[in-house]
Amino acid sequence: MHVVVTGGGGFLGSHLCEALLRRGDTVTCADNLCTGEPRNLRHLTGAPGFRFVRTDVTEALDVPGPVHAVAHLASPASPPDYERLALQTLAVGSRGTENALRLAHRDGARFVLASTSEVYGDPAVHPQPEEYWGNVNPIGPRSVYDEAKRFAEALTTAYRARLGTDTGIVRIFNTYGPRMRPHDGRVVSNFIRQALQGLPLTVYGDGGQTRSFCYVDDLIRGILAMIDAPGLPGPYNLGNPAERTVRELAELVRVLTRSPSRIVHRPLPADDPVRRRPVIDRARRDLGWYPAVPIEEGLRRTVAWFRDQDPPRAHPVPATTAAGRPAA
The catalytic residue positions are 145
Measured between alpha carbons, how far is 200 from 281 in angstroms, rounded to an integer?
Answer: 38
H helix or E strand, kind and range, residue 144: helix 143-158
Measured between alpha carbons, how far is 244 from 285 in angstroms, rounded to an integer?
Answer: 24
Cis peptide before 66 (omega within 30 of 0): yes
CA torsion through residues 15, 300, 34, 94, sign: positive
Phi-psi sector, 265: left (phi>0), alpha (psi -120 to 50), beta: beta
H helix or E strand, kind and range, residue 171: strand 166-172
Of 292, 201, 199, 215, nearest to 252 (Cα)?
201
Is 146 within 8 Å of 121 (Cβ atoms)?
Answer: yes
How many whole angstroms from its chain centre is CA 77?
Answer: 7
Measured between alpha carbons, how far is 239 from 284 in angstroms, rounded to an integer?
Answer: 11
